[in-house]
Amino acid sequence: MTRIDEIVDGIYRISTTVDVNGGFQFNQFVIDDERPALIHTGMHQMYDLVRDAVAQLLDPGKLEYVILLHFESDENGGMDRFLEGAPGSTLACSALSHQLNLSGWNYRGRVEGHRDGEVIDLGRHKLRFLETPHVHHWDSMMLFEETTKSLFPSDLFIQPGDQPPVVTENLGSEMCGFYRAIGIFAHEEPVRRVVDRVEAVDPDWVHGMHGGSLTRESFPYFVRALRDERFAYEGKLLGRPLE
């Protein structure tokens, strides 16, 4: 099931809940502006579904940016077809996603690798790059949209389950338990360093890839849980214990 909601001024969440372990959501975000952008494409198999959802908001052929926050199928499995369908578009990613992956991939579209602090100007919205290595990949980055004070943290601040578009509940301990069960982070330290950084940018909104968007009121619950609780790898991969 896929739904589309405008979360805040021109930022739309496309969310599909899949039926695994009580539900898990995959979100993509459209920023409707002079230069429209799509953040995360979803997996290769989700392309038609995501494209149809984007088409309810704007012409997917007019996308100017398709943005991936680290190299993984739910971030960029649809990149080839989105870029083919929008000939004027550019794939934007971290400098490391470009150097480590895309420069050696069979990808033929235009691509820009960005470093910390660089900004993409979409018109009313401005996307600032934060390089956030090891949260949870080497090439990971986040985006901060300066006009709406929106953070796009990808897989940080996950909430499993079928969540509403905006989450006001304290699900911090559920998040940490989920991280321990799936083994997504090698260690707490690089993640907590990024938590300090993103708290300092003082977001009004946090639009994660899995779960609902957090507000200024609910964000501190998740920050506190990441500071106080364990969430790093403890021998389980996607719930499967390793000998």
- Region of residue 224 (left: phi > 0; alpha: psi -120 to 50; beta: else): alpha
* Shortest distance (Å) from residue 71 CB to Fe ion: 9
43 is an interface residue for Fe ion by CB under 5 A: no
CB atoms within 10 A of CB 57: 17
Give the whole-angstrom CA distance, residue 216 versus residue 140.
Answer: 24
Under the criterion CB under 5 A, does residue 155 sit at the interface with Fe ion?
Answer: yes
Nearer to Fe ion, 131 or 155 (CB): 155
Quote the Cα angle for 231-234-240, to 5°: 110
For Fe ion, the closer CB: 8 or 184:
184
Q: Which stretch binds Fe ion (CB under 5 A): 2-10, 72-80, 89-97, 159-167?
A: 72-80
Q: How far is the CB of 43 from Fe ion (least distance, A)?
A: 10
Residue 70 Cβ, how far from Fe ion at the closest point, in Å?
6
Q: Among 29-37, 66-74, 84-92, 160-168, which window interacts with Fe ion (CB under 5 A)?
A: 66-74
Nearest to 73 by CA among 44, 114, 103: 44
**Of 33 and 213, CB closest to Fe ion:** 213
Q: What residue has token string 């403890």? A: 234
DSSP 8-state class, residue 12: E
Q: Shortest gap between Cβ of 34 and Fe ion (angstroms)? A: 28
Least distance to Fe ion, CB of residue 11, Å: 18
Burial pattern 144-178, b for ≥16 Cβ within 10 A else e, equals: bbebbebbbbbbbbbbbbbbebbbeeebbebbbbb
Burial of 181 (C-beta count, 10 Å sphere; 0-12/13-18/19+): middle
Tell me the closest approach of the beta carbon of residue 16 to Fe ion, in angstroms. 12
Minimum distance of Fe ion from residue 148's CB (angstroms): 22
Binder among 8, 122, 135, 209 for Fe ion (CB under 5 A): 209
Q: Max CA-CA distance within the chain? A: 53
Judged by CB under 5 A, the number of residues near Fe ion is 4
Q: What's the alpha-carbon Rg for the chain, to the nearest Å?
A: 17
In the DSSP assignment, the letter for residue 62 is G
Residue 80 engages Fe ion in binding (rule: CB under 5 A): no
Q: Which of 64, 72, 80, 188 binds Fe ion (CB under 5 A)?
A: 72
> Stretches 116-124, 147-155, 164-172, 187-195: which one binds Fe ion (CB under 5 A)?
147-155
The residues binding Fe ion (CB under 5 A) are 72, 74, 155, 209
